[in-house]
C-alpha cells in the first residue's frame, strides 16, 4: 500500500508539478538557419497569397438567396406514320414541356411512345408483363390485380394478337394496352434547336445587394438575338441557351440522350467582391451530365402521362410514354466585403503558423543533425538535476569550511588557557603579599615586631 501511494505521489510530483519555460539557444548553422527562414517564408506566402488574396481572408461573406425560372421556345414537326390516329403533328412548348412549371427544373420531351384512344374495356394483357402467360383459364385467377400490368384479370386465358404462339390472361382496364416498342429515332428531331431562357434573381441580405442574370445593359433587341457562348466576352452573359449547346458544354457522350433521355445539371455561380462596383457582380454558367450514360440497365429518363377526353359520349384517353431530358438548375454564390474583425482573426491565425517553423527546426536540430546531442544538452535543462548538483557542491564546500575552522579553534583554545593560567598566578601572588602585610601590621600593634 505504501509503494502504491509512493508511486502515485511520484507520478503526481513528476507530471503535474513541473513547469517548462523556453530557453533561447543561438545556433550558428547555415543549414538550420536557412531551413528556418525558408519555412517562415512558406507560411508568410501562404497567408498572403492563399488566405488573403485567393480566399479573401479580409472579407466577411454572405450566402446568396435566389430564385430561378425557365421558359422554353421551339417548334417540332413529328410524322408518326406507324400510328394513323396521330400521323403528322406539330409540337410546341405547351406539348413537350411536361409539367409546364417545376421548382428550379424543367423537362423537355424528345421522344415518345403513344397509345391513343384507350377506353375502359376487356382486352389481352401486354405480353411483356412478367407472370402473365397462361395455358388455361385456371392460370388466370379472376379479380387478381396485376400491379405491373394494366388492369384486373377476368379469369380468361386468351391468345395474344402480338405473339401468335403466346397465350396471355385477359384483363379489364384501359384497352388496348401499351405496346412498348421504342422508335428507331427520336420523334422530336428538332429538339436540339429548342431554346430556354433562364431568369435568375439573387440577393445578399447582409449587404442588401440584389442582382439578376439579365444585366442592366441588356435590352430587348439583344435578348432576341443573343445565344450563350462562353468564349465571347458579351455572349457569355446571355441567359438564352440552345439545348444542343448545353449538351455540347457538358463534354459527355450524348449520342443516346435525345432518344432515351437523361439528366443535366445547370449551375449558376455568383462570386461577388462587393468592395468594388455591383456591376462587376455577374453570373457564371457551368453544365454537367448527371446520369450514368454508360449504363445498360435503367438507361435514360422516362415517365408516362395521359390526356383524357370524351368522344361520342365515351371516356377515352391517350397514353404517352415520354422520353426526354430533365434539367436541374442549381444557384449558389457568396458576396464579401472588408470586415475588420474577420481580417484580424485570419491575420492572427496566419501569424500563429510561424510558430510551426520553430517546432520543425527544433525537431531537425534535436533529432537529425550530427551535433544533436550537443544541441540537446544546450537546449534542455533539467532543474531537478541542477538542484541535486547544487546540493552536492554545497555539501563539499561546507565540509571544506569545517576542515579549515578546526585548527583555528585549537590555537584559540591554547591562547585562552595561557591567559587564564597567568591571571591565576598573578592573583595568587597578590593574595600572598596582602596576607603577609596583614600579619606584619598585627605584630606591630602587639609590639613584637620592630618598626622600620
- Binding site residues for ATP, as ranges? 71-73, 195, 302-304, 321
> 69 with 197: CB under 8 angstroms?
no
Collapsing DSSP to helix, strand or coil, 447 comes out as coil
Cite the beta strand spans of 255-371 per DSSP E: 262-273, 284-289, 302-311, 314-338
CA distances from 25 to 160, 365, 372 (A): 97, 11, 13
* Run of H or E residues at 78: strand 76-80
**What share of residues in the chain are helix, strand, coil (percent, to 5)?**
40, 30, 30
Residue 39 φ/ψ, nearest 5 degrees:
-65, -40
Distance CA 384, CA 2 (A): 24
Collapsing DSSP to helix, strand or coil, 114 comes out as strand
Chain mean position to CA 385: 49
CB within 8 A of 171, min separation 6: which ones? 122, 123, 124, 125, 146, 149, 150, 151, 152, 153, 154, 177
> 78 with 188: CB under 8 angstroms?
yes
Binding-site residues, please? 71-73, 195, 302-304, 321
Helix-then-strand count for the chain, H and E: 10, 14
> 174 with 319: CB under 8 angstroms?
yes
> 269 with 200: CB under 8 angstroms?
no
Collapsing DSSP to helix, strand or coil, 350 comes out as helix
Own/partner long-range contacts of 228-237 (Cβ < 8 Å, ≥24 apart): 228/285, 230/285, 236/285, 237/213, 237/282, 237/283
Distance CA 347, CA 43 (A): 12
Cite the beta strand spans of 290-427 per DSSP E: 302-311, 314-338
Looking at residue 191, the DSSP 8-state letter turns out to be G
Nine-digit cell at 182? Answer: 421504342
Looking at residue 145, the DSSP 8-state letter turns out to be B
Amino acid at each position: 500500500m505504501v509503494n502504491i501511494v509512493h508511486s502515485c505521489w511520484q507520478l503526481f510530483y513528476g507530471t503535474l508539478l513541473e513547469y517548462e519555460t523556453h530557453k533561447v539557444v543561438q545556433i550558428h548553422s547555415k543549414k538550420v538557419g536557412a531551413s528556418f527562414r525558408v519555412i517562415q517564408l512558406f507560411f508568410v506566402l501562404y497567408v498572403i497569397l492563399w488566405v488573403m488574396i485567393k480566399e479573401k481572408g479580409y472579407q466577411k461573406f454572405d450566402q446568396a438567396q435566389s430564385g430561378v425560372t425557365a421558359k422554353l421556345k421551339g417548334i417540332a414537326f413529328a410524322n408518326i406514320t406507324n400510328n394513323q390516329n396521330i400521323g403528322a403533328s406539330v409540337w410546341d412548348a405547351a406539348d413537350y414541356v411536361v409539367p409546364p412549371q417545376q421548382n428550379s427544373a424543367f423537362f423537355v420531351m424528345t421522344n415518345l411512345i403513344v397509345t391513343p384512344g384507350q377506353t375502359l374495356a376487356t382486352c389481352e394483357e401486354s405480353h411483356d408483363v412478367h407472370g402473365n402467360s397462361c395455358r388455361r383459364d385456371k392460370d388466370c385467377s379472376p379479380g387478381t390485380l396485376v400491379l405491373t400490368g394494366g388492369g384486373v384479370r377476368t379469369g380468361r386465358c386468351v391468345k395474344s394478337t402480338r405473339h401468335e404462339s403466346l397465350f396471355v390472361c385477359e384483363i379489364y382496364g384501359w384497352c388496348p394496352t401499351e405496346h412498348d416498342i421504342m422508335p428507331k429515332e427520336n420523334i422530336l428531331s428538332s429538339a436540339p434547336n429548342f431554346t430556354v431562357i433562364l431568369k435568375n434573381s439573387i440577393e445578399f441580405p447582409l449587404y442588401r445587394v440584389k442582382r439578376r442574370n439579365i444585366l442592366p445593359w441588356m435590352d430587348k433587341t439583344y435578348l432576341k438575338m443573343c445565344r450563350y457562348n462562353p468564349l465571347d466576352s458579351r455572349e457569355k452573359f446571355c441567359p438564352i441557351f440552345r439545348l444542343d449547346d448545353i449538351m455540347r458544354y457538358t463534354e459527355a457522350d450524348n449520342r443516346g440522350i435525345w432518344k432515351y433521355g437523361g439528366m443535366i445539371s445547370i449551375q449558376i455561380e455568383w462570386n461577388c467582391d462587393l468592395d468594388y462596383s455591383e456591376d462587376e457582380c455577374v453570373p457564371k454558367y457551368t453544365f454537367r451530365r448527371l446520369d450514368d450514360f454508360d449504363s445498360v440497365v435503367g438507361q435514360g429518363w422516362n415517365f408516362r402521362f395521359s390526356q383524357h377526353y370524351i368522344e361520342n359520349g365515351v371516356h377515352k384517353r391517350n397514353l404517352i410514354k415520354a422520353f426526354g431530358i430533365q434539367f436541374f438548375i442549381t444557384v449558389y454564390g457568396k458576396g464579401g466585403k472588408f470586415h475588420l474583425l474577420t481580417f484580424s482573426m485570419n491575420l492572427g491565425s496566419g501569424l500563429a503558423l510561424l510558430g510551426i517553423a520553430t517546432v520543425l527546426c527544433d525537431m531537425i536540430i534535436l533529432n537529425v543533425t550530427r551535433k544533436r546531442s550537443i544541441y540537446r544538452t544546450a537546449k534542455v535543462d533539467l532543474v531537478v538535476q541542477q538542484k541535486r548538483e547544487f546540493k552536492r557542491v554545497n555539501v563539499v564546500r561546507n565540509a571544506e569550511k569545517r576542515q579549515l575552522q578546526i585548527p583555528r579553534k585549537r590555537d584559540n583554545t591554547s591562547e585562552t588557557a595561557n591567559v587564564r593560567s597567568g591571571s591565576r598566578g598573578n592573583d595568587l601572588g597578590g593574595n600572598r603579599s596582602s596576607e603577609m602585610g596583614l600579619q606584619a601590621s598585627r605584630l606591630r600593634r602587639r609590639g613584637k615586631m620592630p618598626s622600620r
